[in-house]
Amino acid sequence: MANANELIDDIGFHLERLGLSRTSGRVIGALMLASDATADAPTLTEQLGVAKSSLSAAVALLERYGLVQRMPGASRRERYRLTEGLFESVFFSKQGELGAFADLAERVLDQGDLAPEAQARVERMRDFYRFLLAEYPRLLERWEESRRS
Amino acid sequence: MANANELIDDIGFHLERLGLSRTSGRVIGALMLASDATADAPTLTEQLGVAKSSLSAAVALLERYGLVQRMPGASRRERYRLTEGLFESVFFSKQGELGAFADLAERVLDQGDLAPEAQARVERMRDFYRFLLAEYPRLLERWEESRRS
DNA sequence: TAGTATGTTCGGTATGTTCCGAACAAACCG
DNA sequence: CGGTTTGTTCGGAACATACCGAACATACTA
């Protein structure tokens, strides 16, 4: 049985693929393993062995991405909570990227006078991303449904 | 109407999000706009204004990713071709990543003795990625079908 | 109010990545 | 064969980024 730190590092390492820094990923890992999905800053710096400045930057990033929230509280000591449905929101936030690619294709079609073959290629690219964009909500519905059962 | 170079840069810029280098992205862009989706190396270095060493590295990367193929030919001068169905294969190649996340969750469940709430959270993560993994082939089928009409 | 705890900002350092040009290897051509 | 074209490998420069520690600002507490 691995200790918590190894698991946290494992999670953090994998989360780098999503464009997070190592430290941000490890913060997510620590929160994942915490029973109530929360922790405060001093505990995290201690547990992860990072400077508080690094933690501050990491949490700021996670907050911008909507993956972690600051918990309102009376105390000066801040508490952070993992966003509910974290991985779902990470996945479905890629819709923006899909839209960007569809727009890119559209822009190329608008601005360029392409050879017919090239035009067909770009149209197919556009159609594919439009297709995905249309399918994502359906995917989400299906997931919600499968969770209920 | 924008000139081809601007379009290539636009495509290249967006393709960096998929983890490609700028130069690799611009190679894809140039091939996208070429009528037959091919080009040879000297033309590309000239058109993109990069050193041939950079082009060599970029093409090697694209080949490893399966996005570009070397065309068999008699001449020493190599010709590169965009892989058919490029964007589809880019998208569906993410299945590997989904699997990695499912495995990660499984590993955490196996190795850690978690608080019940944490365990539920990790199980949900695992189930979500398994769900996506199962849905992807279905998505592909639907796209194929929608293309036929 | 003085002192302590908490979090952010800033400058410097270490690390990794991308690109270029030079050196090299191999194929083609006169 | 000798010279040229083509592509790869290698070393180094430029750049970006993450992290740390110090300085700072603000809120709590005695």
Q: Is A135's CB within 8 Å of B139's CB?
A: yes
Q: Is A10 on the interface with B (CB under 8 A)?
A: yes
Beta bridge partners of B81: B38, B69
Q: Which single residue is written with the structure tokens 């509280």?
A: A73
List CB-based contacts (under 7 A) with strand D: A 21-24, 49-54, 57-58, 74-76; B 40-42, 52-53, 56-57, 59-60, 76-78
Q: pLDDT tens per residue, chain A (149 residues)?
A: 668 899 999 999 999 989 899 999 999 999 999 999 999 999 999 999 999 999 999 999 999 999 999 998 878 899 999 999 999 999 999 999 999 999 999 999 999 899 999 999 999 999 999 999 999 999 999 999 999 98
Beta bridge partners of A71: A79
Residue B4 has its nearest CB partner, among A100, A112, A139, at A112
> In this structure, which amino acid lies at residue A131?
F
Domain count, chain A: 2
Among A54, A85, A116, where does a domain finish? A85
**Chain-centre distance of CA B41, in angstroms?**
21
Q: What is the mean pLDDT of chain B?
A: 95
Chain A residues in contact with B31 by the CB 8 A cut-off are none
Judge whether A31 and A38 are in contact, CB under 8 Å: yes
**Residue at B62 is within a domain:** yes
Q: Is the CB of B74 under 7 A from strand C?
A: yes
**Domain CATH number, residue A34:** 1.10.10.10
Cα separation, A104 vs A81, in Å, equals 36
Pair A14, A50 in one domain: yes
How distant is C1' of C14 from CA of A114, in Å? 47
Mean per-residue pLDDT, B89-112: 95
Judge whether B37 and B78 are in contact, CB under 8 Å: no
- Domain of A22 in residue numbering reads as 4-85
Q: Is B128 on the interface with A (CB under 8 A)?
A: yes
Which distant-in-sequence residues (6+ apart) come within 8 Å of B131 by Cβ? A142, A143, A146
Q: Which single residue is written with the structure tokens 């994942």?
A: A32
Q: Is A1 on the interface with B (CB under 8 A)?
A: yes
Pair B52, B122 in one domain: no
User: Up-side HSE of residue A143: CA atoms within 13 Å toward CB?
Assistant: 25
Beta bridge partners of B80: B39, B70
Pair B115, B64 in one domain: no
User: Coil, strand or helix: which one is B70?
Assistant: strand
Among A85, A103, A134, where does a domain finish? A85
**Residue at B89 is within a domain:** no
Mean per-residue pLDDT, B72-80: 86
Pair A81, A99 in one domain: no
Cα separation, A146 vs B2, in Å, equals 47
Q: Is A111 on the interface with B (CB under 8 A)?
A: yes
User: Both tokens of residue A61?
Assistant: 């990033």
Q: Which DSSP state fits B83?
A: P
Q: Which DSSP state fits A72?
A: P
